[in-house]
Structure 1
């Protein structure tokens, strides 16, 4: 069933035929979701992904608490900073604009995505209101721009809230943003440091390796950079030495997390410089299994939640 859902999703997102056939049914599905309480949908999805019932009255695991926060931790500020365009103002105010990836272009119209409007340097095109990744461009002449415009036209119509019931995405005004592509000295995409902050403090750091390949791995480190013996959704990766400016990275993440109960602060380290990536409030939508449930419980005990 999981493979079938993925095939349907891929056909809808990547095939003109699949999109035209399934779009009317998708609209009906969205209309139906509006009649169903968020709690019911979240509980049903949790049981399907995690294999056990979600306890919203006494959540104990980290994944349970992430889903609890989906329902009971909703503010306008969440919407503001989940917007990959508007969050730039928040970051500039909290830690300074020199940590922002240079913004090269933005538009609300997919027809504007044309080579003459875009720089000759390497860049990435993405939307501000979902988690669909982006289009990496290293050579404008190699891109089918007609297909790219079609892709982003479709993305601008989507509302990520209805896929995950992550409320902060519901009211974001869709926009296309173009940012400078960060690369290492060898031209590769840098690893990102996902700093999970609980109640304004660093709880653990997640490092994903080889994110754009089929050999993706992941390590978790505690705030003192000790490897945590937990696998969360991925096998262990290479051992990574503590970055020279790790203390600064933690300080920045904690400044950005002060207003929230739980948030994942994504940072990039490129040639010694730190860049802000994004703020994520519900990692993997709270549906990603640990290899051992004990880790889910241990990390869940560290996160303190209170209903607003």
Structure 2
């Protein structure tokens, strides 16, 4: 069923026929969702994806607590930092502009996505208000710009909150941004360092390898860079040496995380420089299984949510 939904979603996003045929159904679906309670949707999605009932009265696992926070932890600041454009000002204030990826374009009009408005260098175009990924451009002369404008015009119409019930997305004003594409010298996309912070402190680091391929792997490391013997949604990848500026990376993420109960801060490390990626409040919407189930509980015990109860 999950694979079928993903295929339908892909057709909806990429095919004119699929979009036009499914749009009325999607709008009806969105209309119905608006009248369903957040708790009902969150519980229903959790049971479908995790295979057991969500315990909101006494959450124990990390995934349960992420969903508890989804329902009960709403701060205006979350809307700002979940916005891939407005978060830039937050990062600059907290840790400095030197950690920001260069911004090449900001617009609320998809018609502005034209080659003359963008540089000849590599870049990525993305919406600020959802988790749809982005359009990677290495040669702008090879891009179907009409299709790109249509794609992002559709993104601007969507509100990710109603399907995910992740509150921070509800009131983001949609826009489009283009940023410089970070790459290694061989042109490959750098590893994604995902720092999971509990109660303002780093709990563990998650590294994704080959994330833009079908061979994606993942390692988890503790705060001293020891490999944690668990798999969270992906098989083990290659072992990675601790970065020379790991302490600086920790400093950056903890400053960005200090205002939140749970947050994932993504960084990139390219040519010795640290770059901010994004801030996420509910990793995989709290629906990613640990292959070793006991680690869901172990991490859950480290995350303290009592101050909100």
State the partner residue of 2:239.
239
Distance 2:297 2:31 in 1: 36
1:41-71 residue CA offsets vs partner (Å, 9 max, x unmatched)? 0000000000000000000000000000001
Q: State the Cα distance separating 1:8 from its structure 2 match.
A: 1.3
Q: State the Cα distance separating 1:153 from its structure 2 match.
A: 0.4
Q: State the Cα distance separating 1:10 from its structure 2 match.
A: 1.2
Residues 151-162 of structure 1 correspond to what in structure 2 (within 5 A)? Answer: 151-162=151-162
Distance 2:89 2:209 in 1: 29
Q: State the Cα distance separating 1:192 from its structure 2 match.
A: 1.1
Q: State the Cα distance separating 1:261 from its structure 2 match.
A: 0.2
Report the 3-state secondary structure (helix = DSSP H, G, I; strand = E; otherwise coil) of the residue aligned with 1:168: helix
Q: State the Cα distance separating 1:5 from its structure 2 match.
A: 1.2
State the partner residue of 2:288.
288
Residues 80-159 of structure 1 correspond to what in structure 2 (within 5 A)? Answer: 80-159=80-159
1:182 matches 2:172: no
Distance 2:61 2:127 in 1: 32
Distance 2:25 2:37 in 1: 20
1:212-250 residue CA offsets vs partner (Å, 9 max, x unmatched)? 111000000000000000100000000000000001101
Distance 2:189 2:52 in 1: 37
1:200 matches 2:200: yes
Q: State the Cα distance separating 1:3 from its structure 2 match.
A: 2.1
Distance 2:163 2:143 in 1: 29
In structure 1, list runs of 5 or more residues that go unmatched.
none
Residues 232-271 of structure 1 correspond to what in structure 2 (within 5 A)? Answer: 232-271=232-271
State the partner residue of 1:21.
21
Report the 3-state secondary structure (helix = DSSP H, G, I; strand = E; otherwise coil) of the residue aligned with 2:29: helix
1:33 matches 2:40: no
1:12 matches 2:12: yes
1:54-110 residue CA offsets vs partner (Å, 9 max, x unmatched)? 000000000000000001110110000000000000000000001000001110000
1:241-285 residue CA offsets vs partner (Å, 9 max, x unmatched)? 000000110111000000000000000000000000000000000
Q: Tell me if the contact between 2:33 and 2:163 (Cα under 8 Å) persists in the aligned partners.
A: no
In structure 2, list runs of 5 or more residues that go unmatched.
none
Aligned residues, how many? 308
**TM-score when normalising by structure 1:** 0.99
1:168 matches 2:168: yes
Cα RMSD, aligned residues only: 0.7
Distance 2:191 2:7 in 1: 28
State the partner residue of 2:57.
57
Q: State the Cα distance separating 1:300 from its structure 2 match.
A: 0.4
Q: State the Cα distance separating 1:158 from its structure 2 match.
A: 0.8
Q: State the Cα distance separating 1:14 from its structure 2 match.
A: 1.1
